[in-house]
Amino acid sequence: MPLVLDNITVSYRSVPAVHHVYARFEEGSSWAIFGPNGAGKSTLLKAMMRLLPIDTGSVQWQGVERRDLAYLPQLAEIDRTLPMSVFELTALGLWHEMGSFGGLRPQQRQRVHQALERVGMDAQAQRPIAALSSGQFQRVLFARMLVQEARFLLLDEPFNAMDAHTTHALLHVLRDCVAAGKGVIAVVHDREQARTQFDNTLLLAREVVASGPSMQVLTQANLHQADGFRQEVRADEWCDVQPDQLQPPQHLHHHHHD
């Protein structure tokens, strides 16, 4: 029961951020969404979650309901000052099972603890989330996704600013999820990570440059083509990153002086 993007175009401030994207994501597969800054990767993920209106085409959840999708936004979009404990935040992953006034049943409490154990945070279950480092907080957000028992996990730059130890641990969790038959779709900005940790890659530069097995997609020719999109358009006119966040691709670091 796949997630299908059928010719979708999404605008950001009335300029197309991604256009004419076709893609199909199956359960039990892992996908990296990779491309230059401002290529529309986060926009695409939000459109898949139906968090943004689309201009053309359709996002099809084939046999899939909202509860089957777990979404992890970028860390910066989440309020970390909420007065709740690690356990309480993780338990929010049970939202689709809870009555409005229901307490947790013992079996649900056990699932919360098991999820925290899988990310190495069960010993800190009672700590306030405001006291966590960003790596610890990200582990707890992973636990919240695990508790939901969704069929697809959609993650927006989950390893951004994470230390190597946390990244390694969370990649391991994602691999386990894929092995258990879940679909994992993650926006990543590390090419080597996309190539080695995800079976498939969608290479995006506002439109799909290439899509399929990571080794075949992440070729120099395809990456060069994806980087070429910056020459076509002034990035800050349409994309949702600030101009000072735009970095030149690695091979363009030489400067020309008149």
Residue 75 is assigned to a structural domain of this protein = no
In single-letter form, the type of residue at position 102 comes to G
**Do 119 and 183 belong together in one domain?**
no
Residue 74 is assigned to a structural domain of this protein = no
The mean pLDDT of 123-129, rounded to a whole number, is: 97
Q: At which of 150, 175, 200 does a domain end?
A: 150
**Do 218 and 163 belong together in one domain?**
yes
Q: How far is CA 128 from the centre of its chain?
A: 25
- Is the pLDDT at 193 greater than 80? The verdict is yes
Per-residue DSSP letter, 218: S
pLDDT per residue as tens digits for the range 62-76: 899 999 999 999 887
**Do 169 and 202 belong together in one domain?**
yes
Task: Please report, for the domain that includes residue 206, its CATH number.
Answer: 3.40.50.300
**Do 7 and 22 belong together in one domain?**
yes
Residue 73 is assigned to a structural domain of this protein = no
Number of domains the chain contains: 2
**Do 16 and 31 belong together in one domain?**
yes
- The confidence band for 232, taking pLDDT boundaries of 50, 70 and 90, is low
- Is the pLDDT at 15 greater than 60? The verdict is yes
**Do 36 and 89 belong together in one domain?**
no
The mean pLDDT of 188-194, rounded to a whole number, is: 95
Tokens of 100: 């409005």
**Do 51 and 125 belong together in one domain?**
no
Q: How far is CA 242 from the centre of its chain?
A: 20
pLDDT per residue as tens digits for the range 162-185: 999 999 999 999 999 999 999 999
Residue 30 is assigned to a structural domain of this protein = yes
- The confidence band for 100, taking pLDDT boundaries of 50, 70 and 90, is low
Q: At which of 150, 176, 194 does a domain end?
A: 150
Alpha-helix residue ranges (DSSP H) falling in the chain: 41-48, 86-91, 106-118, 134-148, 164-179, 191-197, 214-217, 220-227, 229-232, 235-238
Residue 254 is assigned to a structural domain of this protein = no
**Do 92 and 199 belong together in one domain?**
no
**Do 39 and 90 belong together in one domain?**
no
In this prediction, residue 104 carries a pLDDT of 86
Closest CA to 214 of 230, 232, 198: 198
The mean pLDDT of 233-241, rounded to a whole number, is: 48
In this prediction, residue 125 carries a pLDDT of 97
The mean pLDDT of 45-67, rounded to a whole number, is: 93
Q: At which of 107, 122, 150 does a domain end?
A: 150
Q: What is the 3-state secondary structure (H, E, C) of 43-79?
A: HHHHHHCCCCCCCEEEEEECCCCHHHEEEECCHHHCC
In this prediction, residue 244 carries a pLDDT of 45
**Do 107 and 166 belong together in one domain?**
no
Domain housing 145: 80-150
Residue 15 is assigned to a structural domain of this protein = yes
In this prediction, residue 256 carries a pLDDT of 41
In this prediction, residue 38 carries a pLDDT of 84
Residue 258 is assigned to a structural domain of this protein = no
Q: What percentage of residues in the chain have a pLDDT greater than 70?
A: 87
- Is the pLDDT at 254 greater than 60? The verdict is no
